Amino acid sequence: MYTKKIFTAKQMAIWTRYETLFFLCIITTAVALYYFLDLHWLRIPWTPLALIGTAVAFVIGFQNNSAYGRIWEARKIWGGIVNVSRTFGMFVQDMTTNEHALEKYSDDEIYAEVKRLTHRHIAWMTALRHAMRAPRLWETQTQHRTNREWNVNPPEKLTTLDDDLILYLTEEDIEYLKTRDNKQTALLYLQSHHLRKLKEKGLIWEFSFLELEGVLKDLFDLQGKSERIKNFPYPRQFATLNHFFMWVFVLLLPLALVPQFGEIGMEIKDVNPIIGNLFVWFSIPFYVIVSWIFHTMERIGRTGENPFEGTANDVPISTIARGIEIDLRQNLGEDPDQIPSQFPVRIFTQF
């Protein structure tokens, strides 16, 4: 079952609860040292901290913009795969005819050729989505403790590529793929070879053949763009330094925030001694809020760096591919009982 996640405010708080508790421990320790041990000298001025915070905000903004750009580009690529796939299915059905055939073929024979081309295209999408779900060394978000709690299991993690491909390919095609590492590329080569043979038989007119080859070229372009996002990570020097800078800011923040609240408490002590004496403890919620915002924005950027990793918020390529398959097979006129249903989507609205 494919799991998708819709984040509400409550779930966002649960998603970051471990870090929030850590921030609470940091600021509580700092305030306790300041209040009970009278460590008023343990402080830093706001100017350098403000400069660090500004730099961190810029870097986090850059990371989030870049991560969103990768997600949006991935979504456009797979949107292109949807459109080109439908075009391919239409072209194959209407361009494979007896009009220019050297010898006449029966309707069943023509349908068998169209069906084989269509199913091989579905196999190409299946191989591509499996390749996009293959783990990379820099993809670590699925291993995060809170992400594991969502129990996200894309279909590619529940079945093997070989088991999925056998549903769409002939034994001859499967044997061909055994010696190829990049199976999605090999399948497009098979498509081209098949189309050439049909052209030689006259089942596909020469100009129709060129149109279909152009569609295969578009599929190669979309595949290459998808593989580029998968195989070229967000530059690690930016991601690593951004993470370190954020923690430097978060760990230094109590040294400026706590004394500031202490000074405010001293100013109001003459008017209200009780509130003035305890006012330094009000720095705890403000510190937790500021730290939570910086950390959560940085973590959102890290989560969006790899849009095919298989987390709850990535591009739903499994659902997209299955939707295309259903469209192609329905328009091919297959028995509805043989057409698979869409992958079930379990949407959490509460934890």
Name residue 204's beta-bridge partners. 96
CA distance 319 to 341: 10
Angle at which helices 183-201 and 206-231 cross, to 10°: 180
Look at residue 9 in the predicted model and tell me its pLDDT.
66
Biggest distance spanned by C-alpha atoms of the chain: 105
Look at residue 84 in the predicted model and tell me its pLDDT.
97
Contact 60, 201 (CB under 8 A): no
DSSP 289-336: HHHHHHHHHHHHHHHTS-TTS--TTS--HHHHHHHHHHHHHHHTT--G
Look at residue 285 in the predicted model and tell me its pLDDT.
94
CA distance 141 to 211: 42
Look at residue 351 in the predicted model and tell me its pLDDT.
39
> How far is C-alpha 201 from the geometric centre of its chain's CA atoms?
44
DSSP 43-81: ---HHHHHHHHHHHHHHHHHHHHHHHHHHHHHHHHHHHH
The CA-CA-CA angle for residues 328, 329, 332, to 5°, reads: 90
Rg (CA), the chain: 29
Look at residue 214 in the predicted model and tell me its pLDDT.
97
- In the predicted model, residues of the chain with pLDDT beneath 70 are 1-9, 146-147, 149-151, 345-351
Backbone dihedral angles phi then psi of residue 254, each to the nearest 5 degrees: -60, -30
Which parts of the chain fold into alpha helices (H)?
A: 9-15, 17-36, 46-95, 107-133, 145-149, 161-165, 171-177, 183-201, 206-231, 236-268, 273-278, 283-303, 317-331
> How far is C-alpha 279 from the geometric centre of its chain's CA atoms?
44
Tell me if the pTM is above 0.75.
yes
